[in-house]
Amino acid sequence: MGNSRGSRVVLVCAALAVAAGSGVIAARLADQSLDAGRLSGSTPTGTPTSLAPSAPPGVPETPTPSETTATEEPIVTQNRLVLQSRLYKVGRIPASRCKEPSARPTSLAKVRLYYTQYLECLNKAWAPVMREAGFPFRAPKLVVYAGRSANSYCDLTSTAVYCDGTIYMSADYDLKNYATYDPLWSRTTMAFLIAHEYGHHVQAMAGILQASHSREMVLSNTTMQLLESRRRELQASCLSGVYLGADKQFFPARGSWLLKWKWTVRNRGDEWNPKRTHGNKNNHSRWSRAGFEAADPAACNTFIAKPATVS
């Protein structure tokens, strides 16, 4: 997808189906994913990605782009970036030592405060990791909005979107969930969504996001393109779990909160979406919990996983 500035973009978006009581409410938040990620200078994907959350009842070093040789085939470089990233070698990430933000989603201002504080904690944990891996760290921008923003070329029809270094979060979704459904579920969903979008930012800083989209563009058929999309999205969810697992003693992620978070990641899946861009709920739970249990990005190399585990 292009923008008015003439640059090329990568989108990563979210859609969900919300089950309330005996009925099911489908909220169309994007075409295919949890987040819409747009990165300057990257190749367009043609389609966003989305998850369907249910509501309550040794390898070689990875070179940076500047390290690759002029004679190396581009696809070889892209494969190395996703398969052998230095991100997978940093070990367990440090705890941010942050507690869950105390703000509750009862107003736009409080939703914004929750995400702002959470983002600061994510930056605190991931900054030293990215630098250790040899990637320049840059904090993402954050936009928390109600209704559709008139000042962005990003697709904000999703609940959560990563676009061109900015994380967009829809307060409307959180306000409705907190007022209508289980308040604890709404909090675990907020914690998951912001960390998933941040997972795409980690991918972008490591060059994985751009490389994966480039790989997707050259694949010969839709089935393989969707498989690549699922690898990318499930990795972002795994990285979401990595942060929470590293900080679980301080958050704290235990007791009823942890049980609800596990329920949340177990009931997010793209079975409802014919395009199947994010992975079914069993695999979403598998990768989210793998990240949580290891607190190490090495647990999140979905690009070498067997197709059945990213279906």
Q: With contact defined as beta carbons under 8 Å apart, do 158 and 170 qualify?
A: yes
Quick one: how far is CA 1 from the chain centroid? 19
Closest among 48, 73, 57, 67 to 24, alpha carbons compared: 57
Alpha helix ranges (H) inside 99-138? 108-132
Q: What is the pLDDT of residues 105-135, one digit of tens each?
A: 999 999 999 999 999 999 999 999 999 999 9
- Output the CA–CA distances (angstroms, integers) from residue 228 to 212, 213, 264, in the order listed: 7, 8, 24
User: At a CB cut-off of 8 Å and minimum separation 6, what does 279 contact?
Assistant: 51, 230, 233, 234, 237, 269, 270, 287, 310, 311
Residue 13 has pLDDT above 70, yes or no: no
Mean pLDDT, the chain, integer: 80
Give residue 151's pLDDT band: very low, low, confident or very high (50, 70, 90): low
The pLDDT assigned to 157 comes to 67
Model confidence pLDDT, tens digit, residues 65-100: 444 444 456 788 888 889 999 999 999 999 999 999
**What is the distance between the alpha carbons of residues 255 and 193, in angstroms, rounded to a whole number?**
20
